[in-house]
Structure 1
Amino acid sequence: MKRRILALGLISALTAAPLATAAASSEAAVSNTEYRKQWHSDIHSGYQALATHSQALADQAKTYCQSPSPEAREQTRKAWLDAFLAWQQVRFVDFGPVEKGNRAWQFQFWPDPKNLVARKASYLLKNDEPVTAAGISESGVAVQGFPMVEYLLYDQPFSNSERALPADRTCQLLTAVTRHIADNSATLAQDWKDFQSDYVEHAPYTDSTIRAAMAGLEILEERRLATPMGLRGNGKRSVYSADAWRSETSLAAVEASVQGLRQYFMPAFSTLLENQNKANLAARIEQQFDEVQANFPGLERPMAPLLADDTAFRSLQSLYIDVTQLTALVNDRAAVELGVVRGFNSSDGD
């Protein structure tokens, strides 16, 4: 009789074990869904900000071309910078709707070692064909985004040429490109909103989001800082390897990208780490974000003079070291702890 009772108890335990495992698995899935809900909401806020600033840029470009003045040109530059920095904040997102139609490249064609943006601008401005929205859509990513507008507003040789703003055809190109950016931004924000169900309900998007942040940090460290600093590539310092060098806002763009990761990625990521008993690591990453951002506002200036002067260069080195440490914490510590493997990133340009 005792053996029968013991056998029944063993059978009950074995039967309950899969149920307990399934319950734990279900609980983990619910928890991961909550992380993705927060990520979706936070990233959507970033995309909405991009859409708002891009629309303001398109409106301001139209106003400037209708009534040109030095003041209106400066207002257009400011509107460009606001929209460009809004893009930098969400630039790390490299999956989902932003992959459609090479949208990320449409917003920012970079790197551009062959100066294709300038060559495309020259071709379009010399061409007799009307500059239309349809024409911009068919002209390729080097024409369609923020670098083209930056070229028209900031490039020094071009600004001294006969085609400089507010020349009629150049204004046509400016308004058409800014309109394209605004339309693209609005569509992206809506597409991301519509993407909510797929994103929240599919567990692999947790890893996709973490890998996107990892790639964003690697690109920031290796390509946006190390390469112009001469720490990679040919070993020579060159501001032309940085993005946004014409407007002298390369470092402002770096700051915006760091802020974007902190604002749109870290809240859910910190919660995920804390719920995995990694609260100390989450706190260390937040502290490292503080250390990176402490380099500003001291670096809110053009990169070129910092590259040219060895004493000033130390401030860039300090920033680079802090970013490297942040990348190591996220990519080599946190991601490993969570079992996330770095994957191929389509925005690498490789």
Structure 2
Amino acid sequence: MFRPKLLLSSLAALALGACAPQDPQAQTAAALAKQVILPTYSRWVEADQQLAASALAFCSGKEDLDKARADFLAAQKAWAELQPLMIGPLAEGNRAWQVLFWPDKKNLVGRQVEQLIKAQPQVDAAALAKSSVVVQGLSAYEYILFDSNLDMADGAQKARYCPLLQAIGERQKILAEEILARWNAKDGMLEQLSTFPNTRYADSHEAISELLRVQVTALDTLKKKLGTPLGRQTKGLPQPMQAEAWRSHSSLSNLAASLDSAENLWRGVDGPGIRSLLGSDQKDLAERIDAAYADAEKQLTSLQKPLTDLLADEAGRTQVNVFYDSLDKVQRLHSGDLARALGVQLGFNANDGD
């Protein structure tokens, strides 16, 4: 029997549901997962796929050393972009160490690469996965291609180091593809950041809280990556070889990639970012964070020389210190005012106690 009142009631309920305001934290988490985080992971996979192909091409003589180095720098940049987005499977099971080993306070990378090549001259990706994390990733790859004591243009040295170079390329490709597959899997991180509640998050606020914690930890890590070589922990005595990627002179470009990625999480890309969760009464805080990012990027852009060169004289160190202070301001705004405004309890981060 046709019941017009029932139909009208159903249509009214649907209309109310369509007009009901959605949870802004859920919208933001989903937008960040789809528009910022997942695309960055996808670029990382593509860069590592190219790295694996590059190692094969270089070692077979189809690619020169300059191209091999450029492909490495692209993979390293893609990894740097992931630092403020280290959430989910990549942050678990010691996986990040398998991609890049830092800090290397005792030249473990160089020593362990030489030990491995001597013990397993024909090492492959499967054997490498069972080896120390120190030799599995980009730090070892950089050592082989950029260390001043090695000459990969020399045929004998190329033959000696190429099995490990190829093994690292394949190992990184497999690892990156595995992480991306887990992101896209049923009940993977993409779904967990988009639909609430789920097995990881009881509600959207838990997801936003973790994203902010990851952001704060990443910004703190950037400070350490700059402050350690600058000598902030050694009474002002510079430690240039404690910089990440000092052999390839790409320490500052890595920092720039990470900082850009952190700002993408703050602003959003083609969708709301964490900034959107601040109300009109918190406009001043949003503008202060905007200004802090702009100043940090301005100071970084002004550093025209490699970090190791800047640390060699007082004028250069002064410039780096100014950039450090601007980075510190960004981090403190996130860990202090922003966390309070969003009702996020940060607790300890991965760098506490270092």
> What's the TM-score once normalised by structure 1's chain length?
0.84
Shift of 1:217: 1.0
AA paired with 1:94?
A: M
Contact 2:277 2:342 in 1 (8 A): no
CA distance 1:286–1:260, shift in 2 (3 Å): same
Which stretch has the larger CA shift, 204-213 or 235-244? 235-244
Distance 2:217 2:165 in 1: 32
Contact 2:124 2:166 in 1 (8 A): no
Question: How many pairs align?
Answer: 319
Determine the structure 1 residue equivalent to 2:177: 186
Q: Given the alignment of the two structures, is residue 119 of structure 1 paired with residue 111 of structure 2, yes or no?
A: yes
Q: Given the alignment of the two structures, is residue 196 of structure 1 paired with residue 190 of structure 2, yes or no?
A: yes
CA distance 1:125–1:38, shift in 2 (3 Å): same
Shift of 1:310: 0.7
Shift of 1:212: 0.6
CA distance 1:199–1:233, shift in 2 (3 Å): farther
Of Structure 1 and Structure 2, the greater helix share is in 1
Distance 2:164 2:351 in 1: 26
> What's the TM-score once normalised by structure 2's chain length?
0.83
Determine the structure 1 residue equivalent to 2:29: 36
AA paired with 2:40?
A: G
- Consecutive unaligned residues of structure 1, counting only runs of 5 or more, are 1-26
Determine the structure 1 residue equivalent to 2:294: 290
Contact 1:109 1:142 in 2 (8 A): yes
Match of 2:217 among 215, 223, 227: 215
AA paired with 1:207?
A: S
**Fraction of identical pairs, as percent:** 29
Shift of 1:297: 3.4
- Consecutive unaligned residues of structure 2, counting only runs of 5 or more, are 1-19
Determine the structure 1 residue equivalent to 2:228: 227
Determine the structure 1 residue equivalent to 2:276: 271
CA distance 1:160–1:65, shift in 2 (3 Å): closer
Distance 1:105 1:187 in 2: 16
Match of 2:342 among 324, 330, 338: 338
**1:109 aligns to what SS in structure 2?**
coil
Q: Given the alignment of the two structures, is residue 57 of structure 1 paired with residue 59 of structure 2, yes or no?
A: no
Per-residue CA distance 1:187-216 (angstroms, 9 max, x = gap): 222222332222332231211110110111
Which stretch has the larger CA shift, 257-266 or 337-346? 337-346
AA paired with 1:260?
A: S
Per-residue CA distance 1:126-159 (angstroms, 9 max, x = gap): 1246311111100021111110100000111233
CA distance 1:141–1:199, shift in 2 (3 Å): same
Shift of 1:51: 0.7
Q: Rg bigger for which structure?
A: 1
RMSD value over aligned CA atoms? 2.3
